[in-house]
Amino acid sequence: MRFGRTVALDGIELTLEEGITGLFGPNGSGKSTLLRAVAGLVRPSQGRITFEGAPVAAADEGWRRLVGYAGHESGLYPNLTVSENLELFGRLYGSNPARPASLLSQLGLEGRSKTLAGELSAGLKRRAAVARALVGEPRLLLLDEPYANLDDDSAALVTEALVAWREPGRSALIATHGARKLKAFADAGVILRRGRIVTQGRYRDSSQQRRPFHETATP
């Protein structure tokens, strides 16, 4: 994946399994670009991304139905309330009408449902962004820094929402600097550096103290 002369991603070979995969790496390592590419928002200059054998593209309506994405920004309409945002996206995804209210409750946003999204604090906005990404009950969830600006209690709410969303047949790729929070419940991890995967693998046992990447390691 190139942007002008800059190579953002190079030689990425990644198979996303069921469950939650953490995407770790320093700033500028290509995490956000990888998420955008998987969502179909940017097209790789070489190679291809497939989902169940079919190429991924945001132009494909069927693909869009499967994906929940929250990038660096909240993706919300600042002049709509939190509740109006979730209801709008819920309707567009054709999800259960009770889903927005349930997510508001799950992410501790009931008291802010009538607040304009643009007036939320950074942490509340992040939680609302996660709710928006989850509202369509996606099979593939792509989150960029869902724990940014969150205190421990808020982070715990996000974790609970992600764990509640995790079901057989669903996959998530979650980019974060807060590796500690994600490692506590993720099923797999990938480390990127300078646009390349340096390590990837699945966690051995979710009940034990986790040390990532036991199964495979890319030198």
Partner 1 sequence: MTKTMWLAAKDLRIEMRARDTLAPMLGFAATVALVLAFALPEASSAGDDVVSYVQAGFMWVTVLFAGLIGFGRTFEVERAEGALDSLLLVPVDRSALFVSKALSNLAFIVVLETVLLPLSALLFAYDLGGSWGALVAVVALVDVGFVAVGTLYAALAAQTRSRELLLPLLALPALIPVFIAALELTADLLLGAGFDALAARGWFGILVAFDVVFVTAGAVLFDAVLD
Q: Is 193 in the site for partner 1 (CB under 8 A)?
A: no
Give the binding range for partner 1 (CB under 8 A) out of 9-17, 23-31, 111-119, 183-191: 111-119
Residue 32 and residue 144 in contact, taking contact as beta carbons nearer than 8 Å: yes
Q: How many residues bind partner 1 (CB under 8 A)?
A: 36
Q: How far is the CB of 22 from partner 1 (least distance, A)?
A: 22
Q: Is 174 in the site for partner 1 (CB under 8 A)?
A: no
Q: Please report whether residue 153 would count as binding partner 1 according to CB under 8 A.
A: no
And the tokens for 116?
């304009």
Site string for partner 1, 21-60 (x = CB under 8 A): ---------------x--xxx---------------xxx-
Positions 67 through 106 that interact with partner 1 (CB under 8 A): 67, 69, 71-80, 84, 88-89, 91-94
Nearer to partner 1, 174 or 188 (CB): 174
Contact between 180 and partner 1 (CB under 8 A)? no
The C-alpha atoms of residue 216 and residue 86 are separated, in whole angstroms, by: 39
Q: Which residues bind partner 1 (CB under 8 A)?
A: 36, 39-41, 57-59, 61-62, 64-65, 67, 69, 71-80, 84, 88-89, 91-94, 116-118, 125, 132, 136
